Amino acid sequence: MKLYYAPGACSLADHIAMHEAGLNFDRVKVDLKAKLTEDGTPFGDINPKSYVPVVEFDDGKRLTENIAILWWVAQKAPSLAPSGDDGSLRLLEMLAFISTEIHKQFGRVFRPTSDAEATAAREKIGQRFALIVKMMRGDYLFGDKVSTADAYLFTMLTWAKKTGVDMPSELQAFYQRMRERPAVKLAFEHEGLE
């Protein structure tokens, strides 16, 4: 199995989650500007959407989209989803919130078409971070156990740090907690991140 990633991109969430799940996988670095993998393959041949993350299974089938990959990882390692009858559904709900309400807003912070747009996006992300704090049920989103959604949220916080988006103190503490996890340390080491 392979994970196609770009250092520090949203694929970091999948990278962390796959380590948390104890999966064995190779990593293939993608140059998103040149749209080439590290061995020179046009990335469009791997994923016609031309973005990371992509998981390639041993039979050659591929899976894209953070929500789908992070949900799939939790199917492989059920401890990475909240417990209870509706655990898988709650995970999906949280992944969708992070993807559509936080991840997407960062696009407007990284590549704003105007100062006003960047300010509006920062405000939106701030509101959503405040909501996340209200939703958090313990040290992690769903209580005292890490989930694949935590890996996604943590990745969003690395972007907040990079771009100076305000982070509530609860999320700063969450960031530090996540940063100490062996899976996070390993993913940082593999991606050459600080």
Nearest to 186 by CA among 21, 16, 52: 16
Q: For residues 69 and 183, which CB has a smaller minimum distance to ligand GSH in the complex?
A: 69
The Cα diameter of the chain in Å comes to 47
Report how far residue 15's alpha carbon sits from residue 10's, in angstroms, rounded to the nearest whole number: 9
Tell me how far, at minimum, the Cβ of 134 lies from ligand GSH, in Å.
24
∠ Cα 107 109 115 (to 5°): 130
Smallest gap from residue 30 Cβ to ligand GSH (A)? 7
Closest contact distance (angstroms) between CB of 153 and ligand GSH is 14
Tell me how far, at minimum, the Cβ of 85 lies from ligand GSH, in Å: 27
Considering the complex, state which of residue 10 and residue 18 has its C-beta at the smaller distance from ligand GSH: 10
Question: Which residue number, 25 or 145, has a Cβ lying nearer to ligand GSH?
Answer: 25
Residue 92's SS3 state is helix
Ranked by CB distance to ligand GSH, the top (closest) residue is 51
φ/ψ (deg, to 5) at 3: -115, 120
Would you say 145 or 190 has its CB closer to ligand GSH? Answer: 190
Query: Measured between alpha carbons, how far is 53 from 10 in angstroms, rounded to an integer?
Result: 7
Binding residues for ligand GSH, per CB under 6 A? 9-10, 32, 50-53, 65-66, 99
Q: What secondary structure does DSSP assign to 45-79, as a single string?
A: HH-TT--S-EEE-TTS-EEE-HHHHHHHHHHHSGG
CA 184 to chain centre: 11
Identity of the residue, 82 or 99, whose beta carbon is nearer to ligand GSH in the bound complex: 99
Residue 132 CB, shortest distance to ligand GSH, in Å, is 18
